């Protein structure tokens, strides 16, 4: 599991306003933590536009749809919820995601 990797993740067992179902998400936890912990931190994505900085960031096409990282949806999930890899964010998109996370969390 690498930071910036886009994976399918099962986010079921959620209640509004949490995002549920199996959907793409971006791993945001650090590689060192991902190697030793049984969990990863993810930002789920949605195909619902528009981009709303810093809450929703366009991150490209994944699973055949334009995807938007939903920053307030940050979650820690067990690795057992991961269902497969979809790709990797570009360095540019990962830096933009970091800026959104910084603005949202501070």
Instruction: Yes or no: say if 57 and 100 are a contact pair by the CB < 8 Å rule.
Output: yes
The two structure tokens encoding residue 79: 């690795």
For the chain, 106 residues long, give each residue's pLDDT as a single digit of tens. Answer: 899 999 999 988 755 555 668 999 999 999 999 999 999 999 999 999 899 999 999 999 998 999 999 999 999 999 999 999 999 999 999 999 999 999 999 9
Instruction: Yes or no: say if 93 and 68 are a contact pair by the CB < 8 Å rule.
Output: no
Q: State pTM to two decimals.
A: 0.92
Each domain of the chain, given as residue ranges in start order, spans 5-105
Helix, strand, coil shares, percent, the chain, to 5: 25, 40, 30
Domain 5-105 class, CATH top level:
mainly beta
d(CA 66, CA 17): 22
């Amino acid at each position: 599991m690498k930071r910036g990797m886009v994976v399918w993740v099962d986010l079921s067992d959620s209640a509004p306003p949490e995002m549920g179902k199996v959907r793409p998400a971006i791993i945001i936890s650090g590689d060192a933590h991902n190697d030793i912990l049984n969990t990863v931190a993810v930002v789920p994505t949605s195909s619902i536009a528009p981009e709303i900085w810093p809450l929703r960031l366009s991150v490209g096409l994944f699973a055949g749809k334009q995807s938007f990282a939903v920053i307030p949806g940050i979650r820690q999930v067990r690795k057992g919820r991961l269902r497969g890899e979809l790709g990797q964010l570009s360095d540019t998109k990962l830096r933009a995601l970091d800026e959104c996370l910084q603005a949202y969390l501070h």
